[in-house]
Structure 1
Amino acid sequence: MRSPNRALSLLRCYGPLVLGASILSFGLYNVHSPSGITEGGVLGMTLLLHHWFGISPSISGFLMDVSCYLLAFRFLGTSFARYALVASCSFAVSYAFYERFPPLLPDLSGHPLTAAVVGGLFVGLGVGLVVRRGGASGGDDALALVISHLTRIPISRAYLSTDLTVLALSLSYLPLSKIACSLVTVTISSYVIGKVHTYGEQAKSEPA
């Protein structure tokens, strides 16, 4: 039987990863998907595949994340593999759970700017919690790290290149006005991720 301290340690270790992934999938299912607001990177690609082929993000997201993680394992090693696996599985399971119910939030498809802001907040908070714990929020992180490692470009440019590529592909099913809103949500989510991550680093640096 595991001691209470052991259980608490596991909760502190993996709880933020599960919570962050659940918040992320909640925002994608309840805001991004109904409103047509897309993201860059793997997140945006899951929405694109869902639109054109009806593939659930719980499946496509998991498969793309695994592919990116394998690349990262090949070039970067295994230091982040455990946390990344927990976050990816948590996203897939929570999104599949949300799909069993209709969206819980009001339909914001008629208010794309509002959807972009709200969606960006959900994505930023969810991803930020995962990053704050030291894990990978998804295949985006692994892919950007691999690109930066192989090309020696800054990690920020690696993220930007994947985001812009997916947003450009998303023009195949989204009007330019919604792509503009997607740029808004990407900007907001990036800002929130940075704030949550900084708060985590500050908390860790405080004396016990």
Structure 2
Amino acid sequence: MQTKSQQLKQSFLHYGTMLLGVAILAFGLFNVHSQSKITEGGVLGMTLLLHHWLGITPGISGLVMDITCYFIGFRMLGKAFLKNAIFSSIGFSVCYNLYEAYGYVLPNLGGRPLLAAVVGGLFVGIGVGLVVREGGASGGDDALAMIIAKNARCRISKAYFLTDFVVLMLSLSYIPFKNILCSLVTVTISSFLIDKLQKPAAFAETASSNKDGTEQEEDSTDVSA
């Protein structure tokens, strides 16, 4: 049985790792993606697609999709997931706003799209990988990938790549092929890194109902193939 000090240390490492992950993710998205205009897949890419063809503002469509993914994640992955997801999402928002306040600290890689794709993929892969490792989610993309990986019993890298690939292929309807190709490089690198950083059973089902209808939280369930 763990002592109180051990529990506090474990909790500090848990939330500290998620905070480090969202800080790295936000840094890359602001300093690399936003400057070089790297196209996104997943939820963000879908919001841009809907805005282009239907005129729906990303502020509304993104919120609806994120909430939907979190709700499904809560139902399927348990209360621990939702708590981690809320913490990491707030942390990401705070970090991104801080970076915006201080301005860019990396050179604009817009003129070298392939390099931007590689560097961007590294930041996203490491950042999201650390968050997912602790059972959190920085946005609807992470929650959706975790849900797919759990139910399809596949590696989370495949789930991430699948969702990003589908959206990027749809985005070919209005985005040049060259841009999509660079984005595929980014999602390939980030998916690989997320898979490598994800420890076994990081985002498993954390709650199950017993015969009395009460919820029992479990530490983890391995979903890797």
Q: Shorter-chain TM-score: what band?
A: 0.7 to 0.9
Q: Alignment partner of 2:189: what SS?
A: helix
Corresponding letter in the other structure for 1:177: K
Q: Aligned partners of 2:80 and 2:12: how far apart in 1?
A: 20
Q: Aligned partners of 2:93 and 2:48: how far apart in 1?
A: 14
Aligned residue for 1:100? Answer: 101
Residues 1:139 and 1:161: Cα distance change in structure 2 (over 3 Å): same
Residue correspondence of structure 1 range 182-193 to structure 2 within 5 A: 182-193=183-194
Q: Aligned partners of 1:145 and 1:155: how far apart in 2?
A: 9
Aligned residue for 1:18? Answer: 19
Query: Following TM superposition, by how much is the alpha carbon of 1:166 offset from its aligned partner in structure 2, in angstroms?
Result: 2.0
Q: Alignment partner of 1:108: what SS?
A: coil
Q: Larger relative contact order (C-alpha < 8 A, sep ≥ 6)?
A: 1
**Normalising to structure 1: TM-score of the pair?**
0.76
How many residues get paired? 196
Per-residue CA deviations over 1:4-41 (Å, capped at 9, x if unaligned) read 87764442120111110111111111111211212321
Q: Aligned partners of 1:36 and 1:47: how far apart in 2?
A: 12
In the alignment, structure 1 segments of 5+ residues that lack a partner are 202-208
Residue 103 of structure 2 corresponds to residue 67 of structure 1: no
Q: Alignment partner of 2:26: what SS?
A: helix
Per-residue CA deviations over 1:52-88 (Å, capped at 9, x if unaligned) read 88857xx976664333111222344324121111111
Q: Alignment partner of 1:164: what SS?
A: helix
Aligned residue for 2:133? Answer: 132
Q: Aligned partners of 1:174 and 1:137: how far apart in 2?
A: 26
Does the aligned pair in 1 maintain the 2:39–2:180 contact within 8 Å?
yes
Per-residue CA deviations over 1:136-184 (Å, capped at 9, x if unaligned) read 343223223445667x574655434421232134335531101101111
Residues 1:17 and 1:77: Cα distance change in structure 2 (over 3 Å): same
Does the aligned pair in 2 maintain the 1:129–1:196 contact within 8 Å?
yes
Percent sequence identity over aligned pairs? 55
More helix by share: 1
Q: Aligned partners of 1:20 and 1:39: how far apart in 2?
A: 19
**Normalising to structure 2: TM-score of the pair?**
0.71
Does the aligned pair in 2 maintain the 1:87–1:130 contact within 8 Å?
yes
Q: Aligned partners of 1:33 and 1:172: how far apart in 2?
A: 21
In the alignment, structure 2 segments of 5+ residues that lack a partner are 203-225
Q: Aligned partners of 1:107 and 1:141: how far apart in 2?
A: 27
Aligned residue for 1:206? Answer: none
Residues 1:130 and 1:149: Cα distance change in structure 2 (over 3 Å): closer
Q: Aligned partners of 2:102 and 2:135: how far apart in 1?
A: 31
Aligned residue for 2:179? Answer: 178
Does the aligned pair in 2 maintain the 1:116–1:181 contact within 8 Å?
yes
Q: Aligned partners of 1:105 and 1:200: how far apart in 2?
A: 35
Corresponding letter in the other structure for 1:40: G
